[in-house]
Every structure is written in structure tokens, then in C-alpha cells.
Amino acid sequence: MGQETTGHAVCPYCGVGCVIQAAVVDNRITKISADKEVGPNYGMLCQKGAYLKDVFHSHDGRLAYPMIRDERGGAPRRVSWTEAIAFVSRRLSEIHRADGDAVGYYGSGQLDTEASYVFTKLFKGSLGTNHTDTNSRLCMSSAVAAYVKAFGSDGPPTCYDDIEHADVFLMIGANMAANHPVLFQMMRKRRARNPNTRIIVVDPRRTKSGQLADVHVPLAPGSDVAFLNLVAKRLHDLGRVDERFARRHTEGFSAYRAMLGALDDKTMLEACDVHPARIHEVVELLAEPCRLLSFYCQGTNQSVVGVDKNVALINLHLQLGAVGNPGAGPFSLTGQPNAMGGREVGYLSHQLPGYRRVADAEHRQDVERHWDLAPGSIRPDPGMTAGEMFEAAADGRLKALWIGGTNPAVSMPDVSVAQAGLRRAELVVVQDCYYPTETAEYADVLLPAAQWGEKAGTMTNSERLVARSEKFLDPPGEAMPDWEVVARIAKKMGFAGYAYGSAEEVWDEYRALTAGRPCDQHGMTNERLSDGPLRWPCPTERHPGATRRYARGRFLTDSGKARFHTPTYRPPDEYTDAAFPLGLTTGRIAGQWHTRTRTGKVEALNRQDPEPFVEIHPDDAAVYDVEDGGWVRLVSRRGDAVGKARVTDGIRQGLLFMPFHWGDLYHPSTNVNYVTSAACDPQSGQPELKFCAVRVERLDYDA
Ligand SMILES: Nc1nc2c(c(=O)[nH]1)N[C@H]1C(S)=C(S)[C@@H](COP(=O)(O)OP(=O)(O)OC[C@H]3O[C@@H](n4cnc5c(=O)[nH]c(N)nc54)[C@H](O)[C@@H]3O)O[C@H]1N2
Ligand SMILES: Nc1nc2c(c(=O)[nH]1)N[C@H]1C(S)=C(S)[C@@H](COP(=O)(O)OP(=O)(O)OC[C@H]3O[C@@H](n4cnc5c(=O)[nH]c(N)nc54)[C@H](O)[C@@H]3O)O[C@H]1N2
Ligand code: SF4
Ligand SMILES: [Mo]
């Protein structure tokens, strides 16, 4: 036995960003823990983090060597890095030369900042295409758009310390007990220490998070704007308005007040379809001065009115003056470990590094200068969004697609379209740590990435905390850090500016580009990050990092004032009718991570929920002759999926829930994304994964 060493890295799962400590002997993890002294998690981990050891116990299913598939449908063959790099560089250059608009990159909040930065530089800078989007489009784009509309900048104003100061928590469209468990734990501790703390949960389902709730509002899916506006109006009528804050620090208040005044209570209540007592209870909890901290995630984001939902929530905070002060604020929960860092790097199709925008001429010039590119190299028009890229691939406009750290053949809405795009594209490059995956089935080239613990890199968590992860394991075979794979291919394509010797060099180039920007990380040197994490903005090397933003009521809009908006209620995009009489919402469970490339390898987690399931209310089960534990098929206007029925009164009558974790490799008929709709919020491009119309059919077989 060799010597035991210890390594630290940010958890590769959710955006809470727990720092994990791994004990390693002979390149194997012997123990996973968390240091009580080290934030943000101070000793806490959830089961997914704790079971990382089991994921890393074998290299089974790892993509360890580059591979090329000579023929679609055939088995890929192992090649050298030299061959793989030459192949990608040649094919990508050929397609790009013929049509600069025909290449795209589809990335992920899974990748570290260094990787997303180099990808963004290659595509937006060297290749001059803004067709670079990521799974954040399906995840955070409505949150981004609402923050920008209200505050003039992306990024939450809050931090985890606020949990210790809050009086009332509002969890709206977030199941934190399952999906952000360590934050849920912090909230539970706050409540245990301070029994007067109140918790409101707004979710059509009664989830585990609801068990902590003083009030649970089981609103109709998609009706959050109606709910939030109604609550705001009632509070307004009770005089719960921070007039001074509204006057000094906001604009648009009178239009907002007029909008509230014109609301018809009855119509709003009908839209929410909840007992009026629930609204009354929420209003009562908020009627007295209190510090309100709101957590929101996919229940608000994944909607055709996702931006409006988030704006309505921010309006409520502005009305109460509940932003910028301890214990208060609208806190958008980040899904993935580095979706925040990816946004800072500018990996969405309308963004550039440092929260810059492609549409802004000055922003483009800043970045072109930093990248030593000729003026005009960066295109001024936003590129295609995730959904648009796969549609364009399906109809032949997008010919080359490089996919890094995401599994769209499972996770895209209306996934048959994405699969058609992958099938039709002339070049599909898949960069992942695992093989097989559903997306890898379409790949012409597979590039093996080193994963968690096998590379150094930087990530930003939900509270703007930037943390450096260490390398403490050797990757299997020839797997390499993502940034290095991209840099080598960029160099082979003949581009200058990719001669990085380490992740630290990439970091230094990137952090300089954030100087003076809202997400300023200029003061975060490699030395400082190796001592511990720091929160942005952190402009200088002596700056301790900011706890809270907008503390003095100065916002990042042109006027320096936060903006009220006037969102109005609109129902979900798809309608139910006689053929598709039920609503379907989709989401996650506590024990699995997305498409299961890692959690699906952990016995203990698979035992918790051994197969895909469908939650259905007892009244609906009676009507459609569905038995608890029996198999059912959901059918929508687009496709169908199979799962095991769970009859429960924890879901609204008329609504079903199915998680999206089980793709075609598990079984070709269990992916709920064959059923979901690709309808998007026109303001953010985020798809409505939280509602579509279906019918349920009982299947008479045992599995
Ligand atoms: N265990 C686990 N944790 C995860 C993940 C995972 O795969 N597994 N994924 C991570 C990622 S990337 C993300 S984005 C987050 C997502 O975290 P969450 O947003 O918490 O997860 P979801 O289950 O998608 O949706 C949350 C809730 O929204 C509710 N909902 C549906 N429609 C509506 C609506 O119209 N209004 C309201 N108010 N609520 C609605 C659903 O019933 C569901 O309980 O989780 C992260 N954490
Ligand atoms: N129906 C429905 N669909 C949804 C959602 C929903 O709520 N309902 N939610 C949407 C949301 S919010 C999200 S975020 C997406 C998530 O969907 P995906 O992004 O498709 O899910 P993951 O399984 O996390 O995919 C990550 C991939 O990256 C690989 N990987 C992990 N670490 C690394 C690394 O360091 N480098 C590289 N190169 N690869 C790595 C993993 O092996 C895996 O194949 O799903 C979306 N789809
Ligand atoms: S709460 Fe999130 S970051 Fe923390 S251990 Fe669990 S999955 Fe990892
Ligand atoms: Mo997400």
C-alpha cells in the first residue's frame, strides 16, 4: 500500500458547490468527507457527494482513449491523440471554410471555467461564430434574463450567509430537499435555532421540501405570475411597500402599482386554482416586516413565461425593499456545478466573457483586443440557442457540432428532433468522460476528458463563490483536461493564442478579462485561490471578496436604479383536450444526477428508485384504470414514454410527474423527453420542460 494523500475539489454535482475532501491511496479514493472548517458546506455533504467514492472505484464505462467511428452505427476504433486531433481539426476547418455559419458548439455547466473559456475563445473568437450555447439554456437562461432586466446584471445579489439572517423563506419552483440538499440542511438548521423562522413552499407537488413548510401552495403549473402578482397586490393594499426604497432606488414603480391595482383577484385565483386560504396564509406571513429570502429554480425557469415568473418574484422583493440587505433577496439556485462560471465566461450564444454581450460594440472590442484578434472578428448577432442548433442540424444548416460535457440525446426537450440533428450532422464530436452515452452513439469522434479529481480547475457556485479544485487522481488511459483538448485542437487548426502550459495560465488570461466588470475576479490570483475560495466581485489582490451585492441600493442599470416590470399571467403553451387530457411536469429525484452517467453506477442510489416512474393522483388513477406499481405509457402530441405508476395524493389532480433520468441506454422507451415540448420563453429561449399535455395508458405487463 502506498502513502495516503488528501485532495480537495468542488463537488461535480449541484451548484451548491460543496468542497469535498478525498483521501487517496494508490490512485484510489479511500474516503470522502468534508472539512468542518471549510466553506461553503462546513462539513456537510449530501448522499450524491458522499457516494462519489463508489463512482470512482472502477474505471468501468470510462472513455479512456480517443476513438473514431468510420461509419455511423458502427463500433468506434481506438486512435492516438495525434490522429484524433488531426481529424477534428481537418474536418472542422473544411466545414467552417465552406460555410462559417455551419459549425456550432454545445457545452455545459459541468465543465470548469478554464474549459468553457477556451471553448468560447475558439468558437466566438477564432472561428467567429456565436453558435455556441450550452445546457444552461435549458436551465438558467430565464434566471439570467430576469436578473438583467431588473438589476442590469446577471448573478444573484445574495449569499449563503443570508440563510442565517432570514425570517421567511419562500421556495418557489425548487425542491431543495432533493436537488440542493446542503442548502436545505442550512435552512433546517436556521429554523431549529430560530423557531420563529417561517417557510413557504410553492409547488404543484408536495415534495420532501414541502415537509418543512408552514404553508404549501399547490398551485396550477405555470401560474406563478398570477400567484406572485396577487400576493404583491394584497400586501400592497395592506401598506406593505417600502416607499422610501421604491422612490430612491427603483424605477417603474408607478406602472407596477397601476398594474397591481388593475388585477382582478378572482381571475388570478382561478389561474392558480388553489384554496383562497393558502393565499391568505402567505400574505399573513409576509404582512409584518420580515427578512424574506426566496429560492427559485426550474419550477419558475422552465416555462414559456419563465422570465416573467422571475421578474414577478423580483418585483415582490423590490416592493418590500428586500434586496441588498442581510437575510433578504431573490436567490436563483444554480443547477450545475459551474453554470455560474460558464455564464461569467460568456458561453451562451448572446454572451461574451465578463458578463459582456456580443451585441455591444465596445464589449466586442474589449474581447478582441484581449484575444489579439482583428477588429470585427467577433460577430455582433447572437448565435443559435440550444434548441435552434439541433433544429438547424436536423434541417441541414448546421453541419458540425462539437458537444462537451452534456448528453443532449437524453436531455433535450422533444428529443427526437435533437436526435435527428445528431444523425444528420456531418461531423459530431463528443467530449465526455464516459462511454457509452446516448449522445456518443451519434459521434464521429470521441474525445476522452479527465473528470472530477483528475484535473485542476475553477468553478463558481450558486453564491458567486469561486473555488479551485485540485488534481489528486490520475485519469484513466489517455484522458486529458477539457481545456487542454480544445487548446490542442485550436493550435492544430493554426490559431494563435492557445499555447497554455497549465490551467493556471488559462485562469490568469481569463481573470484579467473580468477586471472592472460586474463579475470581477481580477483579484483572484492562482495563489489566493489555492488558499481557499473567494466571492466575486473581487477587483484587487487585497480585496476580500464581496458578501452581498447592491448593498447601497445602487444597481447596474444605466440609471443605477432597479427596475420594476409589469408581467402579466399567461397559461402554459400547450393545451389539454379530449385526446391529451392531463398535464405533465418533469424534473429530478434526490438519488440520481441527470442522465446517470455517474450516479447510475452507484448501487445504493439505484436501489432508492430502481426504475423510471410516473406520479399520478388517486382520482386520475381511478379514471384511467391505473394501479400503483403497474406500468403506464404517457403519450403526447410528439411521442411516448413508459414508467411505473406511483399513485400519490402528493400531486395535483390532473397533473403527472415523471423524472428525466432514464435515457435510451437504460431502455429505449423510458425517456420522458420523447414526450416533452420544445416551446420556449421568447425572452430567454428556455424550453417549457415543466408542462405539456399527455394521456396515460395502462400497460398490462410486468417488468
Ligand atoms: N439529485 C439531483 N440534484 C440536482 C440535479 C439532479 O439531476 N439530481 N440537477 C441539478 C440541476 S442542473 C438543476 S437545474 C437543479 C434543479 O432543481 P429543481 O428546480 O429543484 O428541480 P426540478 O425537479 O426540475 O423542479 C423543481 C420543482 O418545480 C416544480 N414545478 C413544476 N412546475 C411548476 C410551476 O409551474 N410552478 C412552480 N412553482 N413549481 C413547479 C416541480 O413539481 C418540482 O418539484 O437541480 C440540481 N440538483
Ligand atoms: N424533461 C426534462 N429535461 C431536462 C430537464 C428537466 O427538468 N426535465 N432539465 C434540463 C436541465 S436544467 C439540465 S442542466 C440538463 C442536464 O442534462 P445533461 O447536461 O445532458 O446531463 P448530464 O447527465 O449532467 O450530462 C453531462 C455529461 O457530461 C459528462 N461529464 C461530466 N463531467 C465532465 C467533464 O469534466 N468533462 C466532460 N467533457 N464531460 C463531463 C457526463 O458523463 C455526461 O455525459 O437537462 C435538461 N433536460
Ligand atoms: S449538496 Fe450539491 S454540491 Fe453538495 S454534496 Fe450534494 S450534490 Fe454535491
Ligand atoms: Mo440544470
Residue 701: is its pLDDT beyond 80? no
Among protein residues, the one whose CA lies closest to atom 28 of ligand 1: 299
Q: Rounded CA gap, 278 and 220, in Å? A: 13
pLDDT band at 702 (very low <50, low <70, confident <90, very high): low
- What is the topology classification, in CATH, of domain 141-331? Dimethylsulfoxide Reductase; domain 2 (3.40.228)
Among protein residues, the one whose CA lies closest to atom 4 of ligand 3: 18
Q: Letter for the amino acid at 537?
A: P
Contact status, residue 522 vs residue 538, Cβ threshold 8 Å: yes
Question: 73-107 in b/e burial notation, b at 16+ Cβ within 10 A?
Answer: eeebeebeeeebbebbbebbbebbeeeebbbbbbb
Residues flanking ligand 1, CB < 6 Å: 14, 48, 139, 172-175, 178-179, 202-205, 207, 221-222, 224, 297-299, 335-336, 585, 587-588, 590, 592-594, 690
Residue 690 CA from chain centroid, whole number = 14
Pick from 462, 588, 599 the residue to mutate for probing ligand 1's pocket: most ligand atoms within 8 Å of its CB. 588
Q: Rounded CA gap, 588 and 590, in Å? A: 7
Q: Rounded CA gap, 589 and 521, in Å? A: 34
For helices 276-287 and 224-237, angle between their N-to-C axes, nearest 10 degrees? 50
Question: 299: closest CA among 143, 182, 149?
Answer: 143
Neighbours of ion ligand 4 (CB under 5 A): 139, 335
Instruction: For the domain covering 67-139+347-354+364-500, report its CATH number.
Output: 3.40.50.740
**Region class of 629: left (phi > 0), else alpha (psi between -120 and 50), else beta:** left
Contact status, residue 279 vs residue 230, Cβ threshold 8 Å: yes
Q: Rounded CA gap, 401 and 443, in Å? A: 10
Among protein residues, the one whose CA lies closest to atom 32 of ligand 1: 299
Q: Rounded CA gap, 397 and 198, in Å? A: 53
Ligand lying nearest the CA atom of residue 50: 3
Domain layout of the chain by residue ranges = 5-56, 67-139+347-354+364-500, 141-331, 582-698
pLDDT tens string 95-123: 999 999 999 999 999 999 999 999 999 99
Distance 526 CA to ligand 4 centre (A): 28
Residues flanking ligand 3, CB < 6 Å: 11, 13-14, 16-18, 41, 45-46, 48-49, 181-182
What grid cell was written down for 687?
424550453
Task: Tell me how many helices (H) and strands (E) the chain has.
Answer: 24, 28
Ligand lying nearest the CA atom of residue 386: 2
pLDDT computed for residue 249 by the predictor: 98
Cα–Cα separations (whole angstroms), residue 671 to 140, 562, 654 = 22, 42, 21
pLDDT tens string 328-346: 999 999 999 999 999 999 9
CA dihedral (379, 382, 384, 387) in degrees, to 10, reads 160
Distance 643 CA to ligand 2 centre (A): 21
Contact status, residue 529 vs residue 483, Cβ threshold 8 Å: no
Instruction: For the domain covering 5-56, report its CATH number.
Output: 3.30.200.210
Residue 647 CA from chain centroid, whole number = 29
Q: Which helix (H) or strand (E) holds 503?
A: helix 503-513
Query: Which atom of ligand 3 lies at the shortest distance from residue 181's CA?
Result: 1
Question: 210: closest CA among 163, 180, 172?
Answer: 172
Among protein residues, the one whose CA lies closest to atom 36 of ligand 2: 405
Pair type for strands 613-616 and 640-647:
parallel
Query: Which atom of ligand 3 lies at the shortest distance from residue 12's CA?
Result: 8
Q: Rounded CA gap, 379 and 350, in Å? A: 10
pLDDT computed for residue 477 by the predictor: 97
- What is the three-class DSSP state of 613? strand
Average pLDDT over residues 366-375: 98
Pick from 52, 183, 203 the residue to mutate for probing ligand 1's pocket: most ligand atoms within 8 Å of its CB. 203
What grid cell was written down for 237?
393594499
Residue 432: is its pLDDT beyond 60? yes
Report the chain's mean pLDDT, rounded to a whole number: 97
pLDDT tens string 444-496: 999 999 999 999 999 999 999 999 999 999 999 999 999 999 999 999 999 99
Architecture category of domain 582-698 in CATH = Beta Barrel (2.40)
pLDDT tens string 619-667: 999 999 999 999 999 999 999 999 999 999 999 999 999 999 999 999 9
pLDDT tens string 394-415: 999 999 999 999 999 999 999 9
Q: Rounded CA gap, 219 and 314, in Å? A: 19
Query: Which atom of ligand 1 lies at the shortest distance from residue 174's CA?
Result: 20
Ligand lying nearest the CA atom of residue 597: 2
* Whole-number percent of the chain with pLDDT over 70: 100
Query: Which atom of ligand 3 lies at the shortest distance from residue 593's CA?
Result: 7
pLDDT computed for residue 211 by the predictor: 85
Contact status, residue 677 vs residue 638, Cβ threshold 8 Å: yes
pLDDT computed for residue 700 by the predictor: 85
Residue 57: is its pLDDT beyond 80? no
Q: 10 Å Cβ neighbour count for 630?
A: 17
Residue 692: is its pLDDT beyond 80? yes
Residues flanking ligand 2, CB < 6 Å: 12, 108, 110-111, 135, 138-139, 298, 302, 335-336, 404-408, 410-411, 431-434, 437, 449, 451, 482, 586-587, 594-595, 597, 660, 672-673, 676, 689
pLDDT computed for residue 58 by the predictor: 74
List, in sequence order, the alpha helices (H) in 361-481: 361-370, 386-394, 408-411, 415-424
- What is the three-class DSSP state of 698? strand
Distance 365 CA to ligand 2 centre (A): 33
Average pLDDT over residues 118-143: 98
pLDDT computed for residue 1 by the predictor: 77
Query: Which atom of ligand 2 lies at the shortest distance from residue 451's CA?
Result: 35
Distance 418 CA to ligand 2 centre (A): 14
pLDDT band at 212 (very low <50, low <70, confident <90, very high): confident
Pick from 14, 110, 429, 446 the residue to mutate for probing ligand 2's pocket: most ligand atoms within 8 Å of its CB. 110
